[in-house]
A and B are shown apart, each in its own frame.
Chain A
């Protein structure tokens, strides 16, 4: 480490809008839809995923509105059931699973490792098309009659009893699953084979480690759920009764095979967020991540143990007592790597130079909510407690803390962090801080009451509920409307910033990491020259105290100042700081 050299700021100061980049080299629809540039594909993904998120969010708002009354004033039970299925399917399969890998991962991974593109650019484009086709099929199914099974598609309800558009939805998810698989394969190969010279495994940013672990889960898990769901379709269409007790099958086998993927899928959603938070915490604390290798290997440990705990979804299905015990013990163990990450982030902030920019606020919000989400997961891993809480709103609250408070907040944090790189423009910092605050408050208002109502015994997926639970539901719905505002504001200012945002410059955050050494937005093949890496990851403290002082004075919105500073650095020929003092 002592020999560590420094990341160059390396970009000519004259970076102007005229310089060709991935956004402005062509504007035709054809060049967008047939692009094999990972950055453009990431943008395509960003657009489609945002649409899915808004649709899923719309369904959530309808649900919350309906649940303000215990007697359900707006919808019939049938429509209510279709709504929560729509919410679950869109959010899980079409937003959370692809969200970070397919957008930020797709955009940033090649930049971070100094590659010109992913290993298989055409596969990458194919993956977006599969996602889009799958999404359109699922949406078609929802528009033309809907599907009412819940996103878990438990048999025999989904395979025999439901009269809704199960097959079409499942086929959509199946196709989208292949989109995930292709992304996973692409990332694994890219991370293995495309790293810039000198970029060893232990010099990789933790975002890359997280995505590597995620890709391993995708590659191992997604095929299993794909074939499981395919069997449900086969059961509906071809009468292969593999999960149908009337035809000799076993509906519990479906649950095993479903959760074998769908529990690790939780880690597909959260691991990339953990990676983003590591990036943001290091950058905005101006400090190398504490315990780099522990954080890196905790991602791998989560991926490995994540595959061994699926049975904790089935403690009340009549699974053998001893099986349940093993799954429960393993579930407690899988909590440890997450705890390691959280404590290491604390230690990173300690003695740092903390800059409360919007991405940092999102990251701190993430840590808080992820901690609560993780700890409440222990209730559900506890055998006897799960007997009481399984399938209640407590579960709903728990996984929303992890999925919304965790994964989605991380996603938004990452989006803010890399937005200048993606678009070349700054978002309005004040609004972003406001939105982060509103989201955090709205989120807690929405989901904290659900813990209480869940412990009281309110089952999930209930259209009508006992009147004594109403007060908690009303609170939750009120929180949801705040949360919706918190999510709505970024949509508006991100769009606004595309045209009116201040020019960002190449490195508005003064971050290290290869993605910040190229122009914003990056040129077609990312780097004018493939970098040679001789420094460790997160070489922040190589920055001098004075430099840090300057950083503090430059607000990111004032892009000009940052650019000048970058220019000055380059002209003077000294990149930020000095060799590591160790």
Chain B
């Protein structure tokens, strides 16, 4: 039986937070010891019957009161600032952080790397590279916690949370769920394997489940396929049309909503726009939308994430014409839109006019049908079954 005293330090935050812990522990021990020893000293020295001078007892002393109000206050606010600095860092991932998508569901963690490799209850990461976790839950609230990294973030249903880390020391570390989620809460967890970059690339080739059996599509590639299968591309073409805005280059840019609110088109916004388009109507597109709302049974969280990652890649290369070829594995697919099966339109975002006839065909053939089906019952009753 061993006596572990401190958790392993395996991320760039570990040292910072442990240092904060040292400061707090010193303060705690100092003041506890001060209070307890003073109390005992006074109590014993001034016990009943002890022959010590008790002359001039005081009952109030403003200077003293202010001293012991201001000193704790100043110390407290100092600690507050010290603790705030790493906290802001935890909130702001570096720009080059690679994204890992995390889904919490009772009672497992499902993780998806940008390169398309999926893992359950295990996470393999190399040292020396920042990773940003985008976390969501499919059911109740969970908490994603890796003690060795000193990071934790709740997985909420219906909303993304993010946190990031950069592992520093290879090893095998605990992954826990910290938000109580029902019967097997304590078994919802697993391991984080931190590897040297060399071992990691080896693992990518041979160790990871996907790599062993088949070629893995990147998340962006999967997203593009979905984009096509769901016929998103029928409406969201390379320019704004009266029917729908283009998605090229929107990621990370402000959007003006019908309500007048200006929101940043981030992951959260895009997710909401897919799940609840009626809540996110853009200004200039009327009071209603033809976009169907994709509920949980139509699109999983993972699929939505794939779509978002794909839309992000549209942003990065918007404006440059790219041929319809399968993009190389690690490069993002370009602003390619496939409105009708097989037919590719090469477009340039900067030129407003590009074969105007083509997209309207798309409406008639595919999305038209879809829209009509939605419209065939104008008094469509959407019952809710919890």
Chain A residues within CB distance 8 Å of chain B: 77-78, 81, 148-150, 152, 154, 156-157, 160-162, 239, 241, 244-247, 251-252, 285-294, 315-318, 321, 324-325, 328-329, 332-333, 335-336, 339-340, 342-347, 349-356, 364, 367-368, 371-372, 375-376, 378-379, 381-388, 390-392, 452, 455-457, 459-466, 468-471, 541, 548-549, 551-552
Distance of A148 Cα from B85 Cα, bound (Å): 38
Contact A245-B158, Cβ < 8 Å, known A161-B140, A382-B83: yes
Q: A547 CB to closest chain B CB, in angstroms?
A: 12
Q: Evaluate contact between B88 and A382: CB separation under 8 angstroms.
A: no
Contact of A346 among B38, B60, B174, B179 (CB under 8 A): B38
Q: Evaluate contact between B77 and A329: CB separation under 8 angstroms.
A: yes
CB within 8 Å of A: which of B143-182?
143, 145, 147-148, 150-154, 156-159, 161, 174, 176-182
Distance of A570 Cα from B338 Cα, bound (Å): 103
Contact A252-B156, Cβ < 8 Å, known A321-B88, A343-B68: yes
Secondary structure type dominating chain A contacts:
helix
Q: B174 CB to closest chain A CB, in angstroms?
A: 6
Looking at A245, A352, A382, A462, which has the most chain B CB atoms within 10 Å of its CB?
A382
Q: Evaluate contact between A378 and B46: CB separation under 8 angstroms.
A: no
CB within 8 Å of A: which of B19-50?
20-21, 24, 27-28, 31-32, 35-36, 38-40, 42-44, 46-49
Contact of A148 among B27, B57, B140, B183 (CB under 8 A): B183
Distance of A290 Cα from B57 Cα, bound (Å): 10
Residue of A nearest to B59 (CB): A288
Residue of B nearest to A329 (CB): B80
Q: B76 CB to closest chain A CB, in angstroms?
A: 4
Contact A347-B58, Cβ < 8 Å, known A368-B39, A378-B28, A391-B152: yes
For A154, the chain B residues whose CB sits under 8 A away are: 140-141, 179-180
Which of B1-9, B222-230, B329-337, B360-368 forms part of the interface with chain A?
A: B1-9
Contact of A318 among B80, B159, B296 (CB under 8 A): B159
Of the A-B pairs whose beta carbons lie under 8 Å apart in the complex, a sample of 6, sorted by A's number, is A247-B384, A315-B87, A354-B46, A378-B28, A379-B24, A552-B48
For A286, the chain B residues whose CB sits under 8 A away are: 48
Q: Evaluate contact between A462 and B186: CB separation under 8 angstroms.
A: yes
Contact A385-B24, Cβ < 8 Å, known A455-B6, A541-B57: yes
For B5, the chain A residues whose CB sits under 8 A away are: 452, 456
Q: Evaluate contact between A336 and B386: CB separation under 8 angstroms.
A: no
The 10 closest A-B pairs by CB, nearest first: A457-B147, A382-B83, A383-B87, A332-B76, A245-B158, A384-B86, A462-B186, A391-B178, A318-B161, A375-B28
For A317, the chain B residues whose CB sits under 8 A away are: 141, 154, 156, 161
Contact A321-B39, Cβ < 8 Å, known A161-B182, A351-B46, A471-B1: no
Distance of A81 Cα from B188 Cα, bound (Å): 14
Q: Does B256 contact A (CB under 8 A)?
A: no
Q: Evaluate contact between A471 and B184: CB separation under 8 angstroms.
A: no
Contact A383-B384, Cβ < 8 Å, known A336-B76, A349-B39, A464-B186: no
Q: A299 CB to closest chain B CB, in angstroms?
A: 15
For B174, the chain A residues whose CB sits under 8 A away are: 457, 466
Q: Evaluate contact between B17 and A384: CB separation under 8 angstroms.
A: yes
Interface size class of B (residues with CB under 8 A): 35 or more
Q: Evaluate contact between B79 and A461: CB separation under 8 angstroms.
A: no
Q: Evaluate contact between A391 and B158: CB separation under 8 angstroms.
A: no
Distance of A456 Cα from B4 Cα, bound (Å): 8
Q: Evaluate contact between B46 and A456: CB separation under 8 angstroms.
A: no
Q: Evaluate contact between B386 and A246: CB separation under 8 angstroms.
A: yes
Q: Evaluate contact between A391 and B7: CB separation under 8 angstroms.
A: no
Supplied contacts A294-B65, A384-B85, 17 more A-B pairs, CB within 8 Å: A81-B180, A154-B180, A246-B386, A292-B59, A325-B87, A329-B80, A332-B76, A340-B68, A351-B54, A371-B31, A371-B32, A378-B76, A452-B5, A457-B147, A459-B143, A462-B185, A464-B187
Q: B265 CB to closest chain A CB, in angstroms?
A: 18
Q: B73 CB to closest chain A CB, in angstroms?
A: 5
Looking at A150, A252, A356, A459, which has the most chain B CB atoms within 10 Å of its CB?
A459
Distance of A386 Cα from B24 Cα, bound (Å): 12
Q: Evaluate contact between A461 and B153: CB separation under 8 angstroms.
A: no
Contact A156-B157, Cβ < 8 Å, known A293-B60, A455-B7: yes
Q: Evaluate contact between B16 and A384: CB separation under 8 angstroms.
A: yes
For B72, the chain A residues whose CB sits under 8 A away are: 335-336, 339
Q: Does B91 contact A (CB under 8 A)?
A: yes
CB within 8 Å of A: which of B59-78?
59-61, 64-65, 68-69, 72-73, 76-77
Contact A459-B178, Cβ < 8 Å, known A81-B185, A316-B152, A364-B39: yes
For B46, the chain A residues whose CB sits under 8 A away are: 285, 349-354
For B140, the chain A residues whose CB sits under 8 A away are: 154, 156-157, 160-161
Contact A371-B35, Cβ < 8 Å, known A353-B46, A378-B28: yes
Contact of A375 among B27, B65, B86, B159 (CB under 8 A): B27
Contact A251-B156, Cβ < 8 Å, known A371-B31, A371-B35: yes
Chain B residues within CB distance 8 Å of chain A: 1-7, 13, 16-17, 20-21, 24, 27-28, 31-32, 35-36, 38-40, 42-44, 46-49, 54, 57-61, 64-65, 68-69, 72-73, 76-77, 79-80, 82-88, 90-91, 106, 139-141, 143, 145, 147-148, 150-154, 156-159, 161, 174, 176-187, 296, 384, 386
Q: A240 CB to closest chain B CB, in angstroms?
A: 11
For B178, the chain A residues whose CB sits under 8 A away are: 390-392, 459-460
Distance of A285 Cα from B50 Cα, bound (Å): 13
Q: Evaluate contact between B91 and A321: CB separation under 8 angstroms.
A: yes
Q: Evaluate contact between A346 and B39: CB separation under 8 angstroms.
A: yes
Q: Evaluate contact between A384 and B84: CB separation under 8 angstroms.
A: yes
Q: B383 CB to closest chain A CB, in angstroms?
A: 12
Q: Evaluate contact between B6 and A391: CB separation under 8 angstroms.
A: no
Distance of A382 Cα from B22 Cα, bound (Å): 13
Residue of B nearest to A77 (CB): B183
For B84, the chain A residues whose CB sits under 8 A away are: 325, 328, 383-384
Distance of A94 Cα from B33 Cα, bound (Å): 34
Distance of A552 Cα from B13 Cα, bound (Å): 58
For B3, the chain A residues whose CB sits under 8 A away are: 471
Residue of A nearest to B67 (CB): A343
Q: A75 CB to closest chain B CB, in angstroms?
A: 12
Distance of A192 Cα from B274 Cα, bound (Å): 58
For B40, the chain A residues whose CB sits under 8 A away are: 364
Q: Evaluate contact between B42 and A382: CB separation under 8 angstroms.
A: no
Residue of B nearest to A452 (CB): B5
Distance of A245 Cα from B140 Cα, bound (Å): 10
Q: Evaluate contact between A150 and B180: CB separation under 8 angstroms.
A: yes
Contact A353-B48, Cβ < 8 Å, known A318-B153, A382-B20, A387-B152: yes
Q: B351 CB to closest chain A CB, in angstroms?
A: 41
For B106, the chain A residues whose CB sits under 8 A away are: 161
Contact A78-B145, Cβ < 8 Å, known A245-B158, A347-B64: no
Q: Evaluate contact between A463 and B186: CB separation under 8 angstroms.
A: yes
Contact A471-B87, Cβ < 8 Å, known A154-B180, A291-B61: no
Q: Evaluate contact between A318 and B6: CB separation under 8 angstroms.
A: no
Residue of B nearest to A345 (CB): B39
Q: Evaluate contact between A372 and B4: CB separation under 8 angstroms.
A: no
For A456, the chain B residues whose CB sits under 8 A away are: 4-7, 147
For A245, the chain B residues whose CB sits under 8 A away are: 156-159
Q: Evaluate contact between B180 and A461: CB separation under 8 angstroms.
A: yes
Residue of A nearest to B64 (CB): A347
Distance of A373 Cα from B298 Cα, bound (Å): 49
Contact A455-B21, Cβ < 8 Å, known A355-B48, A391-B143: yes
For A471, the chain B residues whose CB sits under 8 A away are: 1-3
Contact A390-B152, Cβ < 8 Å, known A336-B69, A354-B48: yes
Q: A465 CB to closest chain B CB, in angstroms?
A: 7
Distance of A376 Cα from B38 Cα, bound (Å): 20
For B141, the chain A residues whose CB sits under 8 A away are: 154, 156-157, 251, 317
Distance of A354 Cα from B46 Cα, bound (Å): 6
